[in-house]
Structures are given as C-alpha cells and as structure tokens.
C-alpha cells in the first residue's frame, strides 16, 4: 500500500531524528529520518563546487510513498536527502524507500548491496540501462579537498573544494550479483557469453568509450 508523505514533527538537535509519518488515517506508520542538514548552502558558501549531483531539490517519486517529495543526492556522503518545510533530512536506507525516480530527468536511483573497493557495501546507484535480466548502473562520487595554505609569500591560498570523481560503472547479471562493469569488449563477452553475437555486431559499427555513460547506455540498450 502506498503511504502518504508529510511531516509530523521535527527534532531540534542535528544529531537527533526527525519523525516522519507515512500512512493514511486507517494505516499509519512512522519512520525516522536521520540527521537534519542545517543550512548547507551557507555552511559551504566558501567551498568551490558542490557535493550534490543536482544542487537544488527536485521532484521525485519514491517507492511506497505517495506524492512527489523533493529530493537530492549527496555524492560526497552517498545519501539521498528529502526536503520538508525548508529543512533537509537523510532518507533512511530501508527497502520501502530504495527506489527513487527523478521526474524531470527520468533517472532512477536505487539502493543496492554490492562489493565496492573489495568490501561489502550498501549505497546508491543510478540506473543506466534496465533490460531483464541485466541492469547497468553508474556511481556518482564527489570528494572533498580542504583549503591549502600558501607555501610561500608569492603563492595564493587554494580554497576548499568539492571534486567530482570519475564515474564508476556496475552491472547486475541474471544471478542478481552486482559487479564492476568490464572495460573492454573481450571481458564483456566473457561475462555475457550468451550475448557474444550481439556484442560483436555492435562493436563492428560503433566505438564505445567505457568511461562515458551515454556510450554505455547505448551499448546495453542495443545488445
């Protein structure tokens, strides 16, 4: 059953929880939204760049939630944030809120469990291509670099900044396992031998840059 989306109460402390009610008059369920984000724009006004894929909150749909909550993705912390009464809260990493679709772009963001940098990990991935049984994702990531003092009297201070990292790609195969996407044709065929003919045919007439999300999307939508 879909759940209505509205704010019930707001906790005052940044380390406390905001209590959000999802439900109807006949079926109420309460969930805790953790870590209110206080005035991040002012806090980061002297930092170059942005921690967000989309700086502003934008309309979205969330699995099991009615209406169009405004969300944004924090690529520094790998968090989805939701806006309520001009405040921002981190969306709980729960199955009920694990699939988010951005209305304006049509992008789908999902919460998945996978191995990342050699360790089990749970985080958000952007869906690039979804053709059963294969799903291809990209991971957006931002790193923060603090300001650097000038090394001598002739140099200038380097301001603090958010630095977008190289996009990483992942693939979910028929067995449900998510792994890093191969970066060349041979390794892709080794992973998907049943699609060898389609892959080879595509590469005969197309160049593929495995670091370009548009190229990767076109490839998997075609094979």
In this predicted structure, what is the pLDDT of residue 143?
94
DSSP 51: S
Would you give per-residue pLDDT tens digits along the chain (223 residues)?
555 543 332 222 233 445 554 443 223 234 445 555 544 444 556 789 999 999 899 999 998 888 889 999 999 999 999 988 888 888 989 888 999 999 999 999 999 999 998 999 999 999 999 998 999 999 999 999 988 887 777 777 788 999 999 999 999 999 999 999 999 999 999 999 999 999 999 999 999 999 999 999 999 999 9
| CA dihedral sign, ordered 195, 136, 187, 121 | negative
The reply to whether 156 and 86 lie within a common domain is yes
For residues 141 and 216, state if they share a domain.
Answer: no
pLDDT of residue 50: 92
The per-residue pLDDT for 210 is 95
Does residue 176 sit in the same domain as residue 192? no
User: Do residues 104 and 193 share a domain?
Assistant: no
Residue 148 structural domain: 4-181
Q: List C-alpha distances in Å: 219 to 115, 138, 168, 187.
A: 24, 14, 16, 14
Within this chain, do residues 145 and 220 fall inside the same structural domain, yes or no?
Answer: no
Give the CA count within 13 Å in the CB-facing half-sphere of 109: 26
Alpha carbon distance 8, 121 (integer Å): 32
The whole-number pLDDT of residue 101 equals 97
And the tokens for 172?
Answer: 């979910």
Q: What is the pLDDT of residue 84?
A: 82
Same domain, 61 and 122: yes
Considering the domain architecture, whether residues 137 and 214 belong to the same structural domain is answered as no
Give the C-alpha separation, 51 to 67, whole Å: 26
Sorted by sequence, the CB contacts under 8 Å of residue 208 that are 6+ apart come out as: 185, 202, 215, 216, 219
Considering the domain architecture, whether residues 78 and 160 belong to the same structural domain is answered as: yes
Tokens for 59, please give them.
Answer: 């309309």
Q: Which runs of E-coded beta strand occur in the chain?
A: 4-9, 17-23, 28-37, 58-62, 70-74, 79-84, 87-90, 99-102, 108-116, 119-131, 134-139, 142-145, 161-164, 168-172, 178-180
Q: What are phi and psi of 123, to 5 degrees?
A: -165, -175
Nearest Cα residue to 102 out of 140, 139, 61, 63: 61
Q: How many CB atoms lie within 10 A of CB 97?
A: 22
Q: Are residues 63 and 32 in the same domain?
A: yes
Do 203 and 173 share a domain, yes or no?
no
**216 and 159 in a common domain:** no
Task: Please check whether residues 173 and 209 belong to one and the same domain.
Answer: no
Cα 220 from Cα 223, distance rounded (Å): 5
Number of domains in the chain: 2
């Amino acid at each position: 059953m879909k759940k209505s989306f509205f704010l019930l109460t707001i906790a005052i402390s940044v380390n406390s929880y905001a209590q959000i009610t999802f439900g109807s008059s006949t079926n109420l369920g309460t969930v805790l939204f953790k870590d209110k984000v206080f005035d991040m724009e002012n806090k980061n006004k002297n930092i170059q760049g942005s921690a967000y894929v989309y700086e502003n909150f934008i309309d979205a749909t969330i699995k099991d939630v009615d209406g169009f909550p405004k969300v944004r993705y924090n690529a520094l912390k790998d968090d989805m944030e939701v806006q309520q009464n001009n405040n921002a809260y981190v969306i709980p990493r729960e199955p009920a809120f694990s699939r988010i679709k951005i209305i304006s772009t049509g992008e789908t963001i999902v919460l998945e469990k996978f191995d990342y940098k050699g360790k089990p990990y749970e985080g958000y991935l952007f869906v690039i291509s979804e053709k059963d049984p294969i799903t291809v994702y990209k991971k957006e990531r931002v790193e923060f670099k603090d300001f650097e003092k000038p090394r001598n009297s002739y140099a200038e201070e380097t301001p603090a900044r958010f630095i977008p990292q190289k996009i990483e790609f992942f693939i979910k195969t028929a067995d449900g396992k998510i792994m890093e996407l191969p970066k060349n044709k041979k390794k892709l065929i080794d992973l998907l031998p049943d699609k060898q003919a389609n892959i080879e045919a595509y590469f005969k007439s197309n160049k593929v840059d495995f670091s370009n999300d548009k190229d990767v999307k076109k490839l998997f939508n075609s094979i």
